[in-house]
């Protein structure tokens, strides 16, 4: 009886590498988050450099700590020589608690991880899981942890934006700037530094967030140029014809069309004639095919807000025109994947 030879199974026409890479990202993020929660980077900075020393300091098993440390070596966050581990420069700069550039606040608890775990429910229902755009009790802890993660990557782009906004010259009495939803105030700090000591800034945000804002203003040595306006951006009075420039950076994506237009209308009233509104945000292209950061911003807004979205430059331009802004100029790719849109109140 002759054997029937089966043809070899063919290879698929494309590689699965992208799928494997994306799926592995879940584990990578979890390794980093647990390492932050156990304080591994901080223990290393304090001089515990072996598995036994770090396990004792972290109150964890030597088996688990050894595996976690080796994974961090594989990720490029630690180096290893025989049985001794050392922080890489990026880990020493950004992952050691109490250091000025520490970025681990969002990783110190599991609430962010849990939120992403409910993405399927949010997609099915269209409802957010951990809403932070309405109740200050939820918003303040979120943004207090989130602000440091935004300050460092936004600083170069903020300085590019400042060059554009200050390029038209500064009034003799100095710029009067409103920074709405200011967070770390990184965007207005860059403007104040570029425009000089006659600049006055009113930084607005929730009371608990402004406590964090003050630390960044002190870091830049600009306390004398800042006033602070606590309250909800949707409701806080902004005054009438007080400002030359209003900055809305990385905030309007939390709003739907009605609330965004209402906010723009109140900003219109707060600006002097000839004053400018500057909106800075990650904006997808009009076809919503990229860039990836803006498309993922939309998913985060699904998880965290009632009506928020990653709005396109065309949408922002329409809203600005609707309330009366003119001479609208769009500057794409201005640092950190952001787009700058400037409109003028006639």
Q: Is residue 248 part of a domain?
A: yes
Tokens of 201: 């800034």
Number of Cβ atoms within 10 Å of the Cβ of 22: 9
Beta carbons within 8 Å of 125's beta carbon, 6+ residues apart: none
Total number of domains in the chain? 2
Q: For strand 84-87 and strand 78-81, is the pairing parallel, antiparallel, or unpaired?
A: antiparallel
Q: Is residue 100 part of a domain?
A: yes
Question: Alpha helix locations (H) across 75-184?
Answer: 89-94, 111-116, 119-125, 136-166
Among 61, 92, 108, give the residue marking a domain's end: 108
Q: Which domain holds residue 173?
A: 136-344
Indicate if 68 and 161 belong to the same structural domain.
no
Closest CA to 248 of 183, 180, 199: 180
Q: Is residue 10 part of a domain?
A: no
Indicate if 143 and 292 belong to the same structural domain.
yes
Distance, CA of 310 to CA of 133 (rounded, Å): 15
Indicate if 338 and 235 belong to the same structural domain.
yes
Indicate if 276 and 164 belong to the same structural domain.
yes
Q: What is the CATH number of the domain that holds 256?
A: 3.40.50.150
Q: What is the CATH number of the domain that holds 101?
A: 1.10.10.10
Distance, CA of 212 to CA of 154 (rounded, Å): 16
Indicate if 57 and 204 belong to the same structural domain.
no
Closest CA to 279 of 179, 151, 184: 179
Indicate if 153 and 63 belong to the same structural domain.
no
Tokens of 245: 């420039």
Beta carbons within 8 Å of 344's beta carbon, 6+ residues apart: 274, 275, 276, 277, 325, 326, 327, 328
- Quick one: pLDDT at residue 137? 67
Q: Which long-range contacts (CB under 8 A, 24 or more apart) does 289-296 make?
A: 291/337, 293/337, 294/337
Q: Is residue 127 part of a domain?
A: no
The 10 Å CB-count burial string (b at 16+, else e) for 36-54 is bebbbbbbbbeebbbbebb
- Quick one: pLDDT at residue 3? 62
Let me know: does 253 contact 301? Beta carbons within 8 Å.
yes
- Quick one: pLDDT at residue 59? 97
Q: Is residue 12 part of a domain?
A: no
Exposure of 312 by Cβ count < 10 A (0-12 exposed, 13-18 middle, 19+ buried)? Answer: middle
Q: Is residue 143 part of a domain?
A: yes
Indicate if 188 and 296 belong to the same structural domain.
yes
Q: Is residue 211 part of a domain?
A: yes
Indicate if 188 and 291 belong to the same structural domain.
yes
Q: Is residue 245 part of a domain?
A: yes
Indicate if 147 and 91 belong to the same structural domain.
no
Residue with structure tokens 């936004």?
154
In the chain, the largest separation of any two C-alpha atoms, in whole Å, equals 101
Closest CA to 29 of 110, 129, 145, 132: 110
Q: If you count them, how many residues does the chain have?
A: 346
Residue with structure tokens 């606040």?
105
Indicate if 95 and 175 belong to the same structural domain.
no
- Quick one: pLDDT at residue 128? 87
Indicate if 97 and 154 belong to the same structural domain.
no
- Quick one: pLDDT at residue 335? 72
Residue pLDDT tens, the chain, 346 long: 556 666 666 778 888 898 888 888 889 999 999 999 999 999 999 999 999 999 999 999 999 999 999 999 999 999 999 999 999 999 999 999 999 889 998 888 887 788 888 999 999 999 988 776 666 666 777 777 778 888 888 999 999 999 999 976 667 678 999 999 999 999 999 999 999 999 999 999 999 899 999 999 999 999 999 999 999 888 899 999 999 999 999 999 999 999 999 999 999 999 999 999 999 999 999 999 999 999 999 999 999 889 999 999 999 999 999 999 999 999 998 876 899 999 999 9
């Amino acid at each position: 009886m002759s054997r029937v030879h089966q043809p070899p199974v063919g290879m698929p026409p494309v590689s699965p590498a992208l799928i494997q890479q994306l799926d592995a990202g879940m584990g990578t993020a979890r390794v980093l988050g647990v390492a932050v929660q156990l304080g591994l980077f901080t223990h290393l900075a304090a001089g515990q450099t072996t598995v036994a020393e770090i396990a004792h300091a972290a109150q964890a098993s030597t088996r688990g700590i050894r595996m976690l440390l080796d994974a961090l070596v594989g990720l490029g966050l630690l180096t290893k020589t025989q049985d001794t581990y050392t922080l890489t420069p990026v880990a020493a700069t950004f992952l050691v608690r109490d250091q000025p550039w520490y970025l681990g606040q969002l990783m110190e608890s599991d609430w962010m991880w849990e939120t992403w775990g409910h993405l399927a429910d949010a997609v099915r229902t269209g409802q957010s899981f951990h809403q932070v755009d309405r109740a200050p009790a939820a918003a303040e802890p979120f943004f207090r942890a989130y602000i440091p993660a935004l300050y460092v990557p936004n600083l170069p782009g903020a300085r590019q934006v400042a060059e554009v906004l200050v390029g038209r010259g500064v009034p003799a009495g100095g710029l009067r700037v409103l920074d709405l939803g200011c967070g770390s105030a990184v965007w207005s700090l860059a403007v104040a530094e570029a425009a000089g000591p006659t600049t006055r800034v009113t930084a607005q945000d929730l009371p608990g967030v402004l406590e964090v804002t003050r630390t960044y203003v002190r870091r830049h040595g600009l306390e004398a140029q800042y006033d602070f306006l606590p309250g909800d951006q949707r409701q806080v009075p902004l005054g009438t014809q007080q400002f030359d420039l209003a900055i809305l950076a990385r905030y309007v994506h939390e709003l739907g069309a009605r609330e965004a237009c209402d906010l723009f209308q109140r900003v219109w009233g707060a600006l002097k004639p000839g004053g400018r509104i500057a909106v800075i945000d990650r904006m997808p292209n009009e076809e919503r095919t990229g860039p990836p950061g803006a498309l993922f911003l939309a998913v985060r807004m699904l998880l965290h807000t009632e009506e928020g979205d990653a709005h396109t430059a065309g949408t922002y331009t329409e809203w600005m025109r609707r309330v009366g802004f003119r001479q609208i100029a769009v500057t794409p790719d201005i640092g950190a994947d952001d787009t700058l849109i400037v409109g003028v109140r006639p």
